[in-house]
Structure 1
Amino acid sequence: MALGVAALAATTGGALSPPAAAEGEAPSGQVEFPTHCVPPREAGLPPADGPTTARITVDDPAPEVGDTVTVTYQVARTPAVNPIAAELPADVLTPTGRIQLGGAQSGEVTVVGAKRNDPVEAGAELPAVTMTGTFTITGAGAITLAPGGYALHTSHLLDLDTACAVSGAPVSERLTASPLPRANLRSVALGAAYGKPGAAVEVSGTGFAPGAAVTVAGRAGAAETADRVAATADARGAVVAELPVTDGATTAVVAYEGTAWSAQQGSGPAAYTVVAAAQTPPGTQKVTAPGTQKVTAVVEPGALTMTQAGGSITLGAVPYGERGAVAGRIGTVTVEDARGGPAGWTLIGKVTEFTGPGGVRIPGASLRWTPRCSPAPGSPSRCVAGSAGVVGPEGAVLASARGGAPAGGTFTIDAAVTLTLPPYTPPGAYRAVLALTLS
């Protein structure tokens, strides 16, 4: 069963453009490139052409997808000069600039510096400046960072801007982004929790690689039994198979990809009991009156169901230009397990990209949650909340209950969610779909 909810927030964005091309990239570190600086008209000065010496650094050279990286653009030397015919006092120079991204991620990063400069004589070159900014990793692979254009704003006597355009700037810094570690979302559910020797049990599996060869097998503790059947996952990664259970030692059923079960490519065990023909199946009570007749009462198994309160999540807001995390909470989910057998269950969530004004997109990996799960009084099973962390398009476990006796009950599940927004996100509403699947 799957349930989708829409999430709303104000998020990041910005115009994307390809990185500046360069003939022969310089090694990572300080680089030099041609610059054309145009002084403000009020200064009455001609444009200044010459080299800029600069360096770009990052706070994390090996981030994961969804991480926010802080970048620093240091201009050690510029051809731009003091635009006024007098000494420029200290701390009146504000730099802004752009860093061009290339490789596994394109676009540009806006960087800003503080008012921090020594006095500058009339006609002298403007001093070194340092600018910082952030961006979010959207894809795995090698990413290059090259210096882009910058502007130097002075606020003494008049507000004046000197704009410096660059050409052929070489790469100054590189980083390698790794994908988020994928949670093993493989799971199986059984059509029956017990059966006579030789009975075939229907096995339904989810979370496998599309088209993968899957082995469905019986288990007794950590060892496999003689019960085994082959299956193939469909285009959605789902598996359906019938497993004849003839080995009396079988106490659970698993499914896995590859030649042997592993925690990375196999499902957790779904409990199963082989019941001898002379035994009374679980869920049956017998009362015998000596010398008279047998009376049998049967408890019929129910279903595994899920309901959710509300169909949308509204997150908070963040002021334009600021980086922050907007918070919210999913609609409360109620899971009812009335099957009466020893099988457990798993509730998984996946989130799409956030889409906003003008098609600006924010990766689903920017959404994190902190799940909670509690059983209703009298529920035989205990439930386990999923780990706090990234939800993302690959999915994460919201809650689960292990198989085994006793089993069943009613469980209340919710989660606090936060969406991390980079600065200077275009104003507007950003929407995504959070889908929950119970199996």
Structure 2
Amino acid sequence: MSRARRSPRKVLAAAGVLAMVGTTGLAAFAPSAQADPVDYSSKCYLELLDQWLDPADVQMDIQVSPEKPTYSVGDKVSVTWHWVKRSKVPADAIQGVGEDKALPRGEVLLSGAQTGSVPIEGERKNPAAAQGEELKLTDMKGEITLTQPGSLDLTPGKYTTYVDAGVGSDVTTACAPVNPPAVSRTLKVEGQGTQAPTLTATPGEVSAGGTIALTGDNWSTASLQPELCAADGTACDPAEISANTLAVADGKLSGNVTVALTVPTGDYKVKVRNGGSEALSGVVKVDASVRTASLSPDHGPVGTTVTVTGTGWAPGAWVSAYGMAGDFQDDEVSAYGQAGADGSLTIPDLVVSKDSVTAIKVIAGTDESTAVQKPFRVTIPGRDLEQTVTGGVLPGTLTIAQEAAGIKLTDITVNGQAQNMTGALNPVTVKDYRGGATGWTLTGSVSDFTNGNGGKITGDKFTWTPRITNGEGSPSTAVAGSTGPIGTGATLASAPPAATGTGGTFTADADLSLAVPAYQQIGTYSATLTLSIS
């Protein structure tokens, strides 16, 4: 098969065109009706020469038609990429760009109410441009159909210029922003979305009275009504959602719903209604709220006033406390109170007026299924003795131990390239038996590597990737340090302080790597890695 041979002159001419296109102006714009041009940096790749151009300031403007303060779902909007500042053909190009030889294509990025991109394209229509003259590329145009309500942001994306340089196929230059540009224009869209709303619920299991986080897409700004439904999506009841913080911004729903304390154990789905739309979440398992009751004090002579406290009671329910004599409920020993909005309960004035009381029963109304019973001991002078029993739990120590003291890194052979010796840290066991609330930090430092003959690799070239394993039953949760150089000090692992208590057994290790320069002096190199815990 024959192949057309590209002349050096034409290739260099194409290179001149590409270099010029790489500095052609682009613009981002402030989110206003006029969308003032904004400069940003763009970097371009010359495919023919497999070469990147230096970043260049570019400038453009974006225009929409029709332009109005508010759009409706279903509207079609024309988007135009308008060149504000055009650059010049480089003076060192062998030849300029011929008439009607340059075709621009690009994209406008969408975010907010809709995501994705709009393809845009200009025309292969330009006046000829010699060295040092401005290359007048045509504006690029595309169209978007508005599908979701909310704020829709338009931002310039990548663009490519196709130049017919007479070499058999177009010479392409692909350009992209060095850093994300500012939003160019924001469209306000109203109406009902054309895509069905989605709803995701996390976590997948909660207790009655707990909260479920909801997220979703394609929601309108109409009022939101959450409901709890059976697992098949039927029997939905808004009363089984006691509170919610749901909101919609740019078509995205977020917030929490609180499951009512009275919801029994079972599998459910959350439904959210929104104007004429609705969506169901996946299955969420709800565990019935566990009602609790505590007595203070739980013993005493006749006449003792007992405070009854509890959690998990139906909000607003009237709850009674009765003295029990065996299986007999004594209504003459009783008091009552009302559960709070969070299900908490306090009955401060139950007086144990009879020596027959052996327990206190706490019940919501007359529903025996809600009853919680706690023992109470009536003390009688001369019949009860008490002895105080004490014992001390003494603190242990914080120690570290290692399986071995030597580490062998892989050998390398000098080949004119920088290389890495690799290895593994001998596992280090941390034992924290102090029994307090204090955490710990395990650190390492390393000396320079030397070969005894003048060769040296500095310690900052020695890096590790730490790991940590928490022993079963350890109160503390240790975390591994960051990957990076060890040098004069780096963290291998640590455990934070905790008011609820710390301690445990942990195993730390790490992957090791020593960066060796290309022409490092040969020899056996050694260094000292020191590990310390505090």
| TM-score bin (small chain) | 0.3 to 0.5
Q: Which has the higher Rg, Structure 1 or Structure 2?
A: 2
Q: Bigger relative contact order, structure 1 or 2, given CA contacts below 8 A and separation 6+? A: 1
Q: TM-score, normalised by structure 2?
A: 0.28
Q: TM-score, normalised by structure 1?
A: 0.34
